Amino acid sequence: MTNRTMTENDKRPPFDNDIIYGTLRRVFGFSGFRRDQERIVRAILENRDVLAVMPTGGGKSLCYQLPAVMLPGACLVVSPLIALMKDQVDGALANGIRGAFLNSSLSPAEQDDVLRQLQLDELDLLYIAPERFAFERFRDIAAKARISMAVIDEAHCISEWGHDFRPDYLSLSRLVTLFPDVPVAAFTATATHKVQDDILGRLCLRDPLVVRASFDRNNLFYDIRFKENAGEQLVSILKDKPGKAGIIYRTSRKSVNDTALMLRAKGFRALPYHAGLGDEERIRNQEAFIRDEVDVIVATIAFGMGIDKSNIRFVIHADLPKSIENYYQETGRAGRDGEPAHCILLFSHGDIHKVRFFIDSVADEAERARALGAFSKVISFASSSVCRRKILLEYFGESYPEQNCGNCDICTGSRKTLNCTREAQMLLSAIVRTDERFGASHIIDIVTGSSNRKVLDFGHDRLKTYGAGKGKTKTFWKRLVDELLARKVISRAEGLYPALCLLPEAFRVLKNVTEIEMAEVVETKRRKSTVAIAARQENGELFELLRSLRKQIADEQGVPPYVVFSDRSLRDMSSLLPCDEESMLAVTGVGEVKLERYGRQFISCIIRWCGTSNNGE
Ligand code: ADP
Ligand code: ZN
């Protein structure tokens, strides 16, 4: 499969477009590059070092796998995620690339076998854990083998500024001296400039091409909804996404367990994942998700680092994330295949206190201040009515030029506002008339006319505002309290008795100078035009058939389904209906090897389906 016509000494022959695009098509089945991929590939082919900062799903693997196939010798890929290496290698093998990995999960005999392949120049790609470099024996063998280039994946691990600093990574500065004649390419999805500069400094890259791709994930629909009853909301969201893969993030282990149980009781295929489960169960649940055996994983943030599943169609944050970085990284796990995916955050002001409580318990003062600063950005992100994408990108120092991204709840107008000035005045008046001594639930009891003991005991049923707001639900009033808190119209006392009291802005509201608007809770309707794919004709029934064929093949071969074909490929097949090999090759992600391995089975499935569905008409 590999292109190896050049001679031993012909280290960096010029590659023309035909060869590059031909290999892209033939091996990977792609008809073009994604943004920035081509620049990176060309730099590597020209023997130049590279640092590429690209978002998850940006297509980093292709940037080195393509040159790895074209250049003589093996491409060494240093990656900290042992769990991911096998998937990466399976993916490469499925495309006919000669890949292997070396890590502690292999037996000594298996390791020797891989080293032998390296010595015999039988590999295009070799994934290794960073600590391999500490082994002199490995370095000796590598120094004598034919190495085409070195890649450092998750390069932010070398930076102490990053959240997953790995001391093992420090030894990677030796790569440049160990392989002086070949390019070193570092990749990361961590966007901060501080980390980026740190990587450059520590790896000692030589006049590298530095590429900072846009962090815009334009296939992700960002959607923030008010959290009212998380359980009911999750059920209704999942009903809308039958059979689709998704992650639900929750903060505590208990809420993870409870949510997973509740969803299973309602008939959804869901499993929990958190650090409190035994190793075995955790791995089993993760595997079941990766292999499409369950649709939903309910998890704490411990989940996601080591997985590469490309067909995750939604990520739901049922609790507030602690920082924008976390939110971006977690939502980023959706839609790596470039297909539309939905990111929903359930937001309630009540959750703010829970996170604040947690942050307050952090002992180190500087750390506490940092956490608070990061969290306050999450609150303003969630309560703002500015395009979600714009805020996210600006957070990462990127300016977003569009007025309307067409792919978030704000820009698609799925978030309607309601003028609630009159209702706000009722609340404020109830707070004033009870001398700012009561908490939200009591105030709400007053305006909704509850005959609760406490209300009667205090004689609050004789107040002018008593029952004035009967027409609206308690949930409505809770949200309005949240809204007034967020807008700093009222504040809540700290401590044991969280009484509500008025802030200066309240008087402007009472005098009708400031109007209060609140988002109305409506189901999101997505605008079709935004993601081109949505408009395409595709056949749901056929898609499902192809999906189960994919699952069957994946199980037989012991690989995750997305390694066989991506969702994107299956969608292409179900809209293009390729009935012969040539038209099958036009499908995204179908290269020569996959055509040879799986083409026939998928073509017959399509032909059979066409036959039956025509007969049925
Ligand atoms: P990252 O490692 O940056 O998160 P991946 O390398 O896993 O991203 O790529 C994400 C997805 O995009 C994969 O399903 C991959 O097959 C697909 N992909 C990458 N490059 C292209 C391309 N040029 N055309 C179509 N799909 C691509
Ligand atoms: Zn938008």
* CATH code of residue 566: 1.10.150.80
Give this prediction's pTM. Answer: 0.76
Task: Encode pLDDT of 238-253 as tens digits.
Answer: 999 999 999 999 999 9
Question: What value, to the nearest 5°, has the Cα angle with vertex 534 and ends 529 and 535?
Answer: 70
Provide the pLDDT for residue 475: 80
Task: Encode pLDDT of 340-371 as tens digits.
Answer: 999 999 998 778 888 888 888 888 888 888 88
Residue 530 located in a structural domain: no
pLDDT score of 10 more than 50:
no
CA pair distance 235, 232, nearest whole angstrom: 5
Domain identity same for 312 and 433:
no
CB 353 within 8 A of CB 359: no
Domain identity same for 166 and 52:
yes
Ligand 1 pocket test target in 20, 53, 61, 330 with most atoms within 8 Å of CB: 61
Burial class (CB in 10 A: 0-12, 13-18, 19+), 407: buried
493 CB-near residues (< 8 Å, 6+ apart): 499, 500, 501
* pLDDT confidence bin for 495, thresholds 50/70/90: low
Nearest CA to ligand 1 atom 14: 337
* pLDDT confidence bin for 256, thresholds 50/70/90: very high
CA pair distance 41, 166, nearest whole angstrom: 27
Domain identity same for 363 and 224:
yes
Enumerate helices (H) and strands (E) in the chain, giving the number of each: 27, 17
Half-sphere exposure of 251 (CA within 13 A, CB side): 13
127 CB-near residues (< 8 Å, 6+ apart): 77, 78, 79, 85, 88, 89, 99, 100, 101, 102, 103
Task: Give the bridge partners for 316, in sequence order.
Answer: 248, 344
- Provide mean pLDDT across the span 77-92: 88
Provide the pLDDT for residue 528: 38
Q: Is the CB of 217 under 6 A from ligand 1?
A: no
Question: What value, to the nearest 5°, has the Cα angle with vertex 115 and ends 113 and 116?
Answer: 65
Ligand with minimal distance to 62 CA: 1
Task: Give the bridge partners for 296, in sequence order.
Answer: 246, 270
Q: Which helix (H) or strand (E) holds 209?
A: strand 209-212
CB 310 within 8 A of CB 219: no
Amino acid at 133: F
Residue 527 located in a structural domain: no
Ligand 1 atom nearest the C-alpha of 28 is 16
CATH of the domain at 469: 1.10.10.10
Residue 467 located in a structural domain: yes
Q: Is the CB of 25 under 6 A from ligand 1?
A: no
Domain boundary among 407, 427, 454: 407
CB 500 within 8 A of CB 438: yes
CA pair distance 40, 46, nearest whole angstrom: 10
Task: Give the bridge partners for 249, in sequence order.
Answer: 299, 317
Domain identity same for 227 and 208:
no
What is the whole-number distance in angstroms between the Cα of residue 402 and the centre of ligand 2? 9
- Provide mean pLDDT across the span 490-509: 87
What domain range includes position 20?
8-212
Domain boundary among 489, 521, 553: 521
CB 320 within 8 A of CB 355: yes
pLDDT score of 280 more than 80:
yes
Question: pLDDT > 90: what percent of the chain?
Answer: 58
CA pair distance 612, 510, nearest whole angstrom: 68
276 CB-near residues (< 8 Å, 6+ apart): 253
Q: Where are the alpha helices (DSSP H) in 153-245?
A: 175-178, 193-203, 230-239
Provide the pLDDT for residue 521: 57
Task: Encode pLDDT of 178-188 as tens digits.
Answer: 889 999 999 99
Residue 528 located in a structural domain: no
Domain identity same for 24 and 163:
yes
Task: Encode pLDDT of 154-201 as tens digits.
Answer: 898 888 766 677 888 888 888 888 889 999 999 998 767 888 888 998
CA pair distance 572, 276, nearest whole angstrom: 41
Domain identity same for 429 and 506:
yes
Radius of gyration of the chain (CA): 28
> Coil, strand or helix: which one is 343?
strand
What is the whole-number distance in angstroms between the Cα of residue 600 and the centre of ligand 1? 24
Domain identity same for 457 and 541:
no
Domains held by the chain: number: 4
Domain boundary among 459, 488, 521: 521
* pLDDT confidence bin for 6, thresholds 50/70/90: very low
Task: Encode pLDDT of 586-603 as tens digits.
Answer: 999 999 999 999 999 999
Ligand 1 atom nearest the C-alpha of 33 is 23
CB 409 within 8 A of CB 224: yes
Residue 229 located in a structural domain: yes
Residue 162 located in a structural domain: yes
Q: Is the CB of 60 under 6 A from ligand 1?
A: yes
* pLDDT confidence bin for 431, thresholds 50/70/90: very high
- Provide mean pLDDT across the span 319-337: 92
Domain identity same for 166 and 302:
no
Task: Give the bridge partners for 188, in sequence order.
Answer: 53
Q: Is the CB of 30 under 6 A from ligand 1?
A: yes
Domain identity same for 477 and 583:
no
Q: What b/e sequence results for 444-470 when a residue is b if at least 16 CB atoms lie within 10 Å of its CB, and e otherwise?
A: bbbbbebeeeebeeeebbebebbebbe
CA pair distance 549, 339, nearest whole angstrom: 20
CA pair distance 484, 490, nearest whole angstrom: 6
Domain identity same for 66 and 200:
yes
CA pair distance 598, 550, nearest whole angstrom: 9
Domain identity same for 500 and 585:
no
- Percent of residues in the chain assigned helix, strand, coil, to nearest 5: 50, 15, 40
- Pick the closest to residue 76 from 101, 45, 103 (CA basis): 101
CB 135 within 8 A of CB 128: no
CA 392 to chain centre: 13
Residue 412 located in a structural domain: no
Domain identity same for 605 and 564:
yes
Residue 305 located in a structural domain: yes
Task: Give the bridge partners for 517, in sequence order.
Answer: 419
User: Which of 17-21, 502-506, 609-613 comes out lowest in average pLDDT?
Assistant: 609-613
CA pair distance 205, 196, nearest whole angstrom: 12
